[in-house]
Amino acid sequence: MSIKIKEYAGTPLREEDLKQGKVLSFGYWPKAKYSWSAGVAIGRYLAELRNARVVGRQCDKCGRTAVPPRMFCEWCFRPNDRWVILKDSGVVNTYSISHIAADATRIEEPLIPTVIQIDGTTDAGILHLVGETDPKEVKFGMKVQAVWKRPEERTGAITDIRYFRPIER
Amino acid sequence: MKKRVAVVGAGMTKFMRRAQETGKELAYEAARMALDSCGLRIEDIGSVTMGSAPDAFDGVHMKGEYLIDGAGAWRKPYMRNYVGGGTGVFAPIHGWQHVASGLFDTCLVVCEEKMSSCRPHPQAAFLTIFDNLTERPLGPNLVWIFALEMHRYMHVHKIPKEKIAAVSVKNKRNAMDHPCAQLAQKITVEDVLNSEVLVWPVQRLDISPTSDGAAAVVLASEDVARKITDSPVWIDGVGWNLDTAYWTNRDLYYPQYVENAAKMAYQMAGIKNPRQEIDFAEPYDPFDYKELHHMEGLMLCGKGEAPDLAWEGVTQRDGKLPVCPSGGLLGVGNPIAAAGLMKICELFWQLRREAGKRQVPGDPKTAVAQAWGDLMQMGTVVVMRA
Amino acid sequence: MSFTERIRSPEDVRHVKGEMPINFLYTAGIAGEKFLREIKENAKILGVRCRKCDIVHVPPKIYCERCFERLGDWTELESEGRIETFTTCYFDADGSRLAEPEIMAVIRLRGANEGIIHRVREIRDREIHVGIEVKAVFREKRDRMGSVLDITHFEPSAP
Amino acid sequence: MAARVAVIGVGMTQLRSITPDLSYKEMMFEAAVKAYNDAQVDPRRDVQSFVCSSEDFWEGTSIFDEYVPDQIGASLKPVCTISGDGLYSLITAYMQISTGLIDVAAVEAHSKPSEIVSIRNIMSLALDPIYVRPLAVDPYFVAGLEMMRYLHESGNTREQCAKVVEKNRMNALRNPYAAHASQTTAQDVLASEAVCRPLGKMDIAEPADGAAVAVLASEKKAKDLCDDPVWILGLGWCSDTPCLEAREWGEATYAKIAADKAFKMAKEVRPKDIDVLEIDDSFSYKELQHLEAIGFCKEGEAGVLTEKGVTAPDGEIPVNASGGSLGMGYTFEMAGLQRLCETVLQLQNRAGEHQVKNARTGFIQCWRGIPTASGAAMILTSERS
């Protein structure tokens, strides 16, 4: 009972308490390694990225084209019907300007993580970066186009697209 | 429903950036306090459910199993429920299922998080929540998705940043009255707007901290609850809902999953008009805009209206609709699952009028707590009544 | 079957390697800190007694898992005990074959009701069995870090 | 107990040692389609709640529950994950239906250990980080310690454990879902490479990939939707101490308590009324230890019963006629749901070549694997005339 409790448990430490050994601490580096199966849908998606193509899957029942592709339509719950080769361009659905890396350390050149709605789809955005622009110039609804790695550099990964660049202002 | 279920006891630890206690010890302290608060012994507990977020924080695989003894589950029916950040409010829903099903008279609900074990920074664990094949290679940071969602929300409703910052100011100040708070401070809207930009539009003071901590509540069926206490607080509505994992395929401006979960909980609680019937709310606020987003999902106001309510002071503790009187995650701290359950503790204390300096004025009878989780996907909602 | 198009050539099968790129730094906790400090400083093993359940827990805890009462009755244990069970391991944690098999055992120290987990050495495979007496061998004080590895192993007690 | 709960449909993929051609989502979709077809339900219209099962480090993804809804028809629906065996998820769905809040629920579990490159390291990560993990030893040592003490206390022998492997791998030859069926003899098992003595390589159930989904319904819905619902009569689950130091090594107390609770709830059902058992056999000795713990024979008798063929598919107490984990493959968090699927098929007389004659009432039990002492039990019955 909140008002009746005088002392709450918990012993806060400072980083220095650990560094200076005031409190014992134990480091551990796990080996957590995997080899993930891309499967039918993402397998083809990644293979096509190597060909500098973006592909989606279309459902005949609701007419929706999904990217990243999956072999089922989650809304109709049925196998979807066909592969669709999409344009490698789209519009900015939402964006941000990142000054930090994945581990929360600061980075010099800000990145522009963006959800890009691929042209020819109704709701299918993908996560990627926008580049070749001043972050201040990025706008909602701005048209962007994929900038691909050179063919010999492409491995069949989402990073085969280096980033998307604005194609009109 | 088979049985009405009440919260009869609650406990929590301090929320800390780094705790010396192990996860087991944190769980113990919270569970022990919850039992003591209602005068129960461990033998009186029929089952235990644990809520805890990724194993990658504590650094123990199958950490639900690791935490058994600290959670008081020795030789008891024990499970771990897990819906990402939504876990803290799902755990009491899972506990409610244990009791309302008629299987148990009592259930101890414990939530624990020891994020500080994760190195180099708890943020690093969040890289591993992204899709392993289509997103992780881009090196995403957790804050990215919040920034993307926040920006979309601001764009659609034309919300100025300062109205959002008002939430952070309010919650960090409310937390000054919370004895467990990690980041209670008196700050201004300008402080928020001038704080370090992490991922625009998210700045340092828009974010809750990473924390170690635990919380616990004791649930009991109606007949048992009335024997334990004169003032049980009833769990009258529960709802939970998960949207598609393809988060980039959705319009992030509105949390439909929260609305679905809220509708489920309100229907069960017989609430027709939440704006009239809810006396105060504890929506999930890991980021300041999230509180606003969730108020809208909880249908406590119209879409895009929440920022004005925050700006005009309606959501202050003494306002017409107090929101996060505890100080929320922004002020008290964010040991993921424990933070969600802290909100249930707050409802319990407030509805029993035991919240001390944090007590909302008037005579609150009905309140809602909510948590959110996964990739902008999961809504968990509990309605409680005095 | 469930969807209409499948991979039909092994050439089209795609795998992506990955990992969980994190590491951890643990604290020993309130009870663990005291337990390991005592090993480090004095080469002594501490347990904690629950009077209600009449058992001595080792490694010690701040609570009794059985009755859930808070504990504080610390007691010094002997560093000798009986083998409760054991196993001979041929691989390490990576699954690589060990040069020499290693015996792991649960050792119930005299005066305790629980058994600590450790290696047993200086004994032949066929001489070991459930119930034999073993004692802890500690590292030299200057080498002790405050860890279970401050005990290098257990070995048969002098006959 | 007022209204009852039934299983009205099951779906499982074929288990395989590797599934390189399918993503986990595609495997789950396949199991879900099968289960919904079996139950004749549309998940988007009829299923009100979904309960999934996973542990992050088996997947290599944190907050794995993010990735479950789409492929099982659960998007924008009540979905939750239980970090535990599929049987725990089934129990959660059972509780949800018993509250009256939900009429039809689906339960999912899957297993893709072929994708885990460093499986022993992941297993080690479940050991206590302060007291056990620093010893840096093969995590299977936990099973070695337990097997040694169990054989010591019970008087059962390594040979009898090997007989379990022989039986289950042979049983699996008649189960098309099985990944590790073989004409193995007890001699082959005893001769297999030592891992953690007395545990040999063939005492350990080989991992397998697969997915399973089951559909549960309230009494009224079950009768509307299904000709032969399989009723859940009793269930129980229990966790003993997670601390290796505090464990009573010879006994599977968690299994005993869980089974006692299940029988108590099922009232007049006794072990002699059970026609088929699917119990945890993720290590050879575990089948014997569990059989004794759940009350089907006295301590020390399970080995002899196995030798005498009492636990064979045509014996008095058919145990793991499916092949169990030793024959079908060990599927981690899916293991309990795999047993559920097998038992439902048995009770509905649909198990094909490995059908046990006149199977009406079944018992299933799961264990969460090393280093845990947690598990669940369930009793089910068909009322088909």
Give the pLDDT band of residue B107 (cuts 50, 70, 90). Answer: very high
The position carrying tokens 């012993």 is A11
Give the pLDDT band of residue D380 (cuts 50, 70, 90). Answer: very high
Amino acid present at B30: A
In a domain, B215, yes or no: yes
Q: Which of A25, A2, A5, A1 has the alpha carbon at shortest distance from A13?
A: A25
| CA–CA distance, D148 with C130 (Å, rounded to integer) | 9
Give the pLDDT band of residue D2 (cuts 50, 70, 90). Answer: low
Chains that touch B (3 or more CB pairs under 8 A): A, C, D
| CA–CA distance, D337 with B302 (Å, rounded to integer) | 44
pLDDT number for residue B302:
98
Q: What is the mean pLDDT of residues C116-131?
A: 92
Residue A82: CB partners within 8 Å, gap ≥ 6? A57, A58, A60
DSSP conformation letters of B141-161: -HHHHHHHHHHHHHHHHT--H
- Given a contact cutoff of 8 angstroms between Cβ atoms, the answer to whether D160 and D274 are in contact is no
Residues spanned by the domain of B273: 5-120+209-385
Inter-chain CB proximity B56 and C22 less than 8 Å: yes
Inter-chain CB proximity B97 and D92 less than 8 Å: yes
Structure tokens, C4: 């209409």
pLDDT tens per residue, range B273-287:
999 999 999 999 999
pLDDT tens per residue, range D271-305:
999 999 999 999 999 999 999 999 999 999 999 99
How many domains, in total, are found in chain B? 1
Residue A116: CB partners within 8 Å, gap ≥ 6? A90, A91, A92, A93, A125, A126, A128, A130, A144, A164
Inter-chain CB proximity C25 and B24 less than 8 Å: no
Question: Contacts of residue A34 in chain C, CB cutoff 8 Å?
Answer: 17-19
Listed range (A73-82, C42-51, C125-134) with the worst mean pLDDT: C125-134
Domain of B80, CATH number, reads 3.40.47.10
The position carrying tokens 């592909």 is A55
| CA–CA distance, B11 with B336 (Å, rounded to integer) | 16
Scanning B200-259 for CB atoms below 8 A from D yields 238-246, 256-257
In a domain, B195, yes or no: no
- In the 3-class helix/strand/coil scheme, how is chain A assigned residue by residue? CHHHCCCCCCCECCHHHHHCCCCCEEEECCCCEEEEECHHHHHHHHHHHHCCCEEEEECCCCCCEECCCCCEECCCCEECCEEEEECCEEEEEEECEEEECCCCCEEEEEECEEEEEECCCCCCEEEEEECCCCHHHCCCCCEEEEEECCHHHCCCCHHHEEEEEECCC
pLDDT tens per residue, range A65-108:
999 999 999 999 999 999 999 999 999 999 999 999 877 789 99
Helix, strand, or coil (residue C56): strand
pLDDT for D385 beyond 80: no
Structure tokens, D349: 């007389």
pLDDT number for residue A6:
74
Question: Contacts of residue B135 in chain A, CB cutoff 8 Å?
Answer: 127, 158
Under the phi-then-psi rule, with left for phi > 0, alpha for psi from -120 to 50, and beta for the rest, what region is A40? alpha
pLDDT tens per residue, range B148-165:
999 999 999 999 999 999
| CA–CA distance, A97 with D307 (Å, rounded to integer) | 69
Which residue pairs, CB below 8 angstroms and at least 24 apart, start in C97-105? C101/C125, C101/D197, C102/D137, C103/C128, C104/D135, C104/D137, C104/D141, C104/D144, C104/D145, C104/D196, C105/C134, C105/C154, C105/D145
Amino acid present at D112: K
Amino acid present at B247: W
Helix, strand, or coil (residue C9): coil
B276 phi/psi in degrees, rounded to 5: -85, -35
Quick check: B341 contacting A, CB < 8 Å?
no
Structure tokens, B130: 């992204």
pLDDT for A142 beyond 60: yes
| CA–CA distance, B335 with B113 (Å, rounded to integer) | 5
| CA–CA distance, A62 with C140 (Å, rounded to integer) | 73
pLDDT number for residue A1:
47
Question: Contacts of residue C30 in chain A, CB cutoff 8 Å?
Answer: 11
Q: Which of B128, B123, B285, B288 has the alpha carbon at shortest distance from B205?
A: B288
Residue A7: CB partners within 8 Å, gap ≥ 6? none
Scanning D88-147 for CB atoms below 8 A from B yields 88, 91-92, 94-96, 98-101, 122-123, 125-126, 128-130
In a domain, B172, yes or no: no
Give the pLDDT band of residue C126 (cuts 50, 70, 90). Answer: confident
| CA–CA distance, D26 with A40 (Å, rounded to integer) | 8
User: Buried (b) or exposed (e) across D273-303, using 16+ Cβ within 10 A?
Assistant: ebbbbbbbbbbbbbbbbbbbbbebbebebbb
- Given a contact cutoff of 8 angstroms between Cβ atoms, the answer to whether B209 and B24 are in contact is no
| CA–CA distance, B98 with B79 (Å, rounded to integer) | 11
Question: Contacts of residue D43 in chain A, CB cutoff 8 Å?
Answer: 77
pLDDT for B19 beyond 80: yes
* Number of Cβ atoms within 10 Å of the Cβ of B223: 10
The position carrying tokens 């003595």 is D197
pLDDT tens per residue, range B46-72:
999 999 999 999 999 999 999 999 999
Question: Contacts of residue C7 in chain A, CB cutoff 8 Å?
Answer: 39-40, 43
* Between residues B298 and B121, the one the model is more confident about: B298
In a domain, B67, yes or no: yes
Q: Which of D232, D157, D140, D177 has the alpha carbon at shortest distance from D13?
A: D177
Give the pLDDT band of residue C159 (cuts 50, 70, 90). Answer: low
How would you list the strands of the sheet with A54-58, edge to edge? A65-66, A54-58, A82-86
CA B39 vs CA A1, B9, B228, B229, D325: distances in Å: 11, 9, 8, 9, 45
Helix, strand, or coil (residue D22): coil
pLDDT for C85 beyond 80: yes
Structure tokens, D181: 């069926």
Give the pLDDT band of residue A122 (cuts 50, 70, 90). Answer: confident
Instruction: Kindly state the percentage of chain C with pLDDT values over 90.
Output: 92
pLDDT number for residue A138:
97
The position carrying tokens 């009429």 is D103
For domain C25-156, which CATH number applies: 2.40.30.10, 2.40.30.30, 1.10.1060.10, 2.40.50.140?
2.40.50.140
Which CATH number is associated with domain D119-207+233-380?
A: 3.40.47.10
Write the DSSP symbol of residue B344.
H
* Number of Cβ atoms within 10 Å of the Cβ of B92: 32
The radius of gyration computed from the CA coordinates of chain C, to the nearest angstrom, equals 22
pLDDT for A169 beyond 60: no
Inter-chain CB proximity C93 and D152 less than 8 Å: no
| CA–CA distance, B274 with C95 (Å, rounded to integer) | 58
* Number of Cβ atoms within 10 Å of the Cβ of C69: 15
Structure tokens, C93: 């944690």
Find the CB nearest D57 among A32, A43, A71: A32
* Number of Cβ atoms within 10 Å of the Cβ of A153: 10
Question: Contacts of residue B100 in chain D, CB cutoff 8 Å?
Answer: 95, 98-101
Q: Which of D93, D58, D88 has the alpha carbon at shortest distance from D72?
A: D93
pLDDT number for residue B1:
53
D94 phi/psi in degrees, rounded to 5: -60, -45
Inter-chain CB proximity C5 and A38 less than 8 Å: no
Listed range (A5-9, A157-161, D14-18) with the worst mean pLDDT: A5-9
pLDDT tens per residue, range D157-183:
999 999 999 999 999 999 999 999 999
Scanning C22-61 for CB atoms below 8 A from D yields 24, 26, 28-29, 32, 36, 57-59
On the question of a cis peptide bond just before residue B160, with omega within 30 degrees of 0, the verdict is no
pLDDT number for residue C32:
98
Q: Is C122 exposed, middle or buried (0-12, 13-18, 19+ CB in 10 A)?
A: exposed
Nearest CA in chain D to A74: D70
Count interface pairs A-B at CB distance under 8 A: 176
| CA–CA distance, D310 with D302 (Å, rounded to integer) | 9
- Given a contact cutoff of 8 angstroms between Cβ atoms, the answer to whether D104 and D46 are in contact is yes
Q: Which of B120, B114, B51, B109 has the alpha carbon at shortest distance from B85?
A: B51
Superfamily of domain D5-117+208-225: Thiolase/Chalcone synthase (3.40.47.10)
pLDDT number for residue A116:
97
Please give the mean pLDDT across all residues of chain C. Answer: 95
pLDDT number for residue B193:
98
To probe the interface with D, which of A29, A37, A127 has the most D CB atoms within 10 Å? A37
In a domain, B333, yes or no: yes
In a domain, B314, yes or no: yes
pLDDT number for residue B213:
98
On the question of a cis peptide bond just before residue C10, with omega within 30 degrees of 0, the verdict is no
Q: What is the mean pLDDT of residues B313-317?
A: 98
Domain extents in chain D: 5-117+208-225, 119-207+233-380
The position carrying tokens 């098992």 is D189
In a domain, B20, yes or no: yes
